[in-house]
Amino acid sequence: MNTSLATRPPMTNDDAELAVLGSILVDPECLWDIKSVLKPDDFSLVKHRHIYTAALALADIGSPIDIITLSDELLREGVAQHAPGAYIVGLMASAPSSINALSYAEVVADTARRRNLIKLSSEIAKRAYDAAESVDKTVTWITSTASDQSRGGELKRAEAVVDEVYAEFERNMDAPLKPGQVRGLDTGWLDLNTALGGWKPGLYVVLGEPHVGKSFFAIHAAQNVAARGGRALVFSLEMTAAQLIRRLCLAHAGISQYEYDQGRVPDAAIAPLYNHMAEIATWQLDIVDDMDTASAIFSTIHRECRGDNPPDLVVIDYIGLIVTDYRADNRNAELSELLRSMKRLSDSNQIPLIGPHQISDKAIQNRTDKRPKKSDGYNSGGISQHADVILGLFDESLHTNMPANPNTLEIIKLKDRLSGGADPFASVKLRFEPTGALKDWTPQEAYDGPQY
């Protein structure tokens, strides 16, 4: 094949390298996509290798990636002279948007592979002319070295995976579960434990119409973990930390918000309130209420999960309020990209991640059965595709003055790839008390608490 100089692909692409690094500064979250296809040595310029290596180091410890932190990391590594601060500042102008970051990374990786193939071909010719080396040895070297140029995912042999499953099975048989116990993280609700097997590493999307109790469900899921000695990390984009903690204190003491606001708390409830304040103060319940961007939230989660005391459960309340700069063509595509990042976040850190999300009023207003469906999510995007578990919340009292089960929050399992599928007719009931507490459901006849 006769390839002229004009049609030969370039062996370096400085513009693509600049665009990759600029994209990382614009949206550090894109690094989690880029790192799967791009290695530091793929950059042709030494200073770009140092900058990319520094960005990876910051990401690994969950540190924010910006001009200041990147410059400090280069200084710490002793290579700041190769990439001065002014150069890093100029990188941001190379990629005003990160939407094509992965494409830029693939161009850089492809160009690097072509350079390596040229080096390889030169070495092959050298070895072929070496009469002292056997042909078989040369062919073996070529096969082994050429395979290193292939890029792809990690291969896991069935034999090794079977060994893992066998060991897991043996552990389960050696320690059979007692009634109410779970292999996953205890949800704090017996029936939900039975339905889900506890919280497991994965993305849980909780769908519900306004005022159904999505935030209450999520914060109570977090407090159940914390009350049992675990650590829960909550990102509250709607309420302040003080509002959330106040609601938990009142719920545990059985005090309504009205009684609290009026200063008319019954004397008998004051001591329980103080006791519950002291109890909650001992929990590992951490609330972040001052950030709403995906990059900031995800960086914090990565950092905490790599720390000495990683969280057992993470809640982001709620998905629709997360600010992204994915710059997709529409909100559906933007939400799908966000959910894909959240799924990747839960997988890479092996944590249960719960994200409440609004359902569209239009989706249910003309239906006789108002129970949520998978497709009801507002700008549903990739919910069904990316979520491991989808739970629908339903409160009958929002649609009738005479509900069959007053004060009941129904949890419908709409999708569950973590514990063996979902039955669209299966649901779990929780008692939604006026004080805000969510407890295991009991038949109405056995419930003597206050009514709505």
Residue 449: the pLDDT is: 38
Segment 187-192 long-range contacts (CB within 8 Å, at least 24 positions apart): 187/221, 187/224, 188/220, 188/221, 188/223, 188/224, 188/225, 188/227, 188/228, 189/224, 189/428, 189/430, 189/438, 189/439, 189/440, 190/440, 191/428, 191/429, 191/430, 191/440, 191/441, 192/411, 192/428, 192/430
Q: 3-state SS string over 147-199?
A: HCCCCCCCCCCHHHHHHHHHHHHHHHHHCCCCCCCCCCECCCCHHHHHHHCCE
Give the three-state DSSP class for 368.
coil
Does the model's pTM come out above 0.75? Answer: no
What pLDDT score does 140 carry?
59
Within its chain, how far is the Cα of 372 from the centroid? 23
| Residue 41 contacts residue 54 (beta carbons within 8 Å) | no
What is the pLDDT, as a whole number, of residue 154? 59
Tens digit of pLDDT at every position of the chain (452 positions): 454 444 555 688 999 999 999 999 988 888 887 887 888 999 999 999 999 999 988 887 778 888 899 999 988 888 888 777 788 888 888 877 778 888 899 999 989 988 888 888 888 888 888 878 777 666 656 655 665 555 555 567 788 888 888 888 898 899 888 877 888 899 999 889 888 889 999 999 999 988 888 988 999 999 999 999 999 999 999 999 999 999 888 887 888 888 899 999 999 889 988 988 999 999 999 999 988 888 778 878 888 888 889 999 999 998 988 887 655 567 777 888 888 889 988 998 899 999 999 887 777 777 888 888 888 776 666 788 899 999 999 988 888 888 888 888 999 999 999 876 555 557 899 987 766 678 888 654 433 433 32
- φ/ψ of residue 380, rounded to 5: -55, -25
pLDDT score for 378:
67
Burial 349-368 (b: 16+ CB within 10 A, else e): bebbbbbbbbbbeebbeeee
Q: Before 378, cis peptide (omega within 30)?
A: no
**What is the Cα–Cα distance from 306 to 298, expressed in whole angstroms?**
12
pLDDT at 452: 27
Domains and their CATH numbers in the chain: 1-155 (1.10.860.10), 190-446 (3.40.50.300)
The DSSP output letter for 10 is: P
